């Protein structure tokens, strides 16, 4: 079964749209467009109909509300499509041509996976806790993520996971916090998340004049800032304890995630398991 693609982008970001069309064509892929929620097209009070002012990660910026609501539109599109899984892409990424072979056949999908991440977060210093066991497909590994891992530019999720996250409305946390920060998001603690290694997607495909579109994030002050620091501090401590426990018990190893446009020679290996 083929995994469809839903591409999220601002309607006014025409330069990004052109670049992504080129990127998809090079990879031999097509995508269904999902118009992103524009944080400049409504007031904060408008966004508070579907989001909360603050949450477990502190003050919820209007720009982050728009991002989370944009992904919610893509999850709704997945459910309406009737597909069992879908790849969600943001409109500023580079794609490996090898991605098409993964999306054309879902035999590799781990039986217990709710989300599979294809993206590498761009930090060069970030280590991620990954489960020791996993599988291999077409020259890349699939390992379960056992710590927080930022980003949300390229991930596939199941219909059940889409319904699970839509049920969290009104949203109270950033998109990547909601999906990939189990210390701050109860919803994230209830799903199994896998990572493709090396990653097949990376952000940075920016159109001139369209970098960081929209109003800048506003830093909270006073009590909202204090509450944010406390909440994030508690979440970071909790995440550290979880990670240390997984490492100490031999359930995970700390590793960096790399991006590789190509890993295969002309011949492609069969799917195997990692002990």
* Boundaries of every domain in the chain: 5-205+218-274
Mean pLDDT over 149-155 rounds to: 96
Res 224: pLDDT = 82
Instruction: Judge whether residue 129 has pLDDT over 70.
Output: yes
Higher pLDDT, 218 or 135: 135
Mean pLDDT value across residues 2-28? 95
DSSP3 helix / strand / coil % (the chain, rounded to 5): 30, 25, 45
Verdict on whether the full-model pTM lies above 0.95: no
Q: How confident is the model at residue 193 (pLDDT cuts 50, 70, 90)?
A: very high
Residue 214 pLDDT: 66
Residue carrying the six token digits 């064509």:
25
Burial 242-260 (b: 16+ CB within 10 A, else e): bbeebeeeeebeeeebebb
For the segment(s) 5-205+218-274, the CATH number from 3.30.70, 3.90.550, 1.25.40, 1.10.3470 is 3.90.550
Average pLDDT rounded to a whole number, residues 4-8: 98
């Amino acid at each position: 079964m083929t995994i469809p693609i839903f591409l999220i982008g601002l309607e006014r970001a025409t330069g990004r749209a052109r670049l992504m069309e080129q990127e998809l064509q090079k990879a031999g892929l097509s995508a269904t467009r999902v118009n992103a929620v524009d944080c400049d097209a409504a007031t904060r009070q408008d966004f508070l109909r579907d989001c909360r002012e603050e949450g477990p990660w502190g003050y919820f910026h209007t720009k982050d509300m728009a991002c989370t609501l944009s992904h919610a539109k893509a999850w709704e599109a997945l459910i309406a499509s009737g597909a069992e899984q879908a790849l969600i892409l943001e409109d500023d990424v580079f794609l490996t041509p090898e991605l098409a072979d993964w999306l054309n056949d879902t035999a590799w999908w781990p039986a217990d996976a709710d989300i599979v991440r294809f993206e590498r977060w761009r930090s060069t210093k970030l280590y991620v806790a990954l489960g020791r066991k996993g599988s291999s497909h077409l020259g890349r590994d699939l390992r379960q993520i056992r710590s927080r891992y930022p980003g949300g530019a390229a991930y596939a999720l199941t219909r059940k996971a889409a319904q699970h996250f839509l049920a969290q409305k009104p949203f109270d946390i950033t998109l990547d916090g909601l999906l990939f920060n189990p210390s701050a998001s109860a919803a994230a603690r209830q799903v199994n998340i896998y990572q493709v290694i090396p990653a097949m997607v990376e952000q940075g495909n920016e159109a001139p004049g369209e970098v960081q579109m929209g109003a800048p994030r506003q830093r909270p002050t006073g009590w909202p800032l204090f509450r944010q620091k406390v909440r994030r501090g508690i979440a970071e401590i909790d995440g550290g304890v979880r990670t240390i426990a997984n490492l100490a018990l031999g359930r995970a190893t700390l590793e960096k995630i790399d991006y590789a446009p190509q890993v295969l020679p002309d011949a492609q290996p069969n799917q195997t398991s990692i002990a």
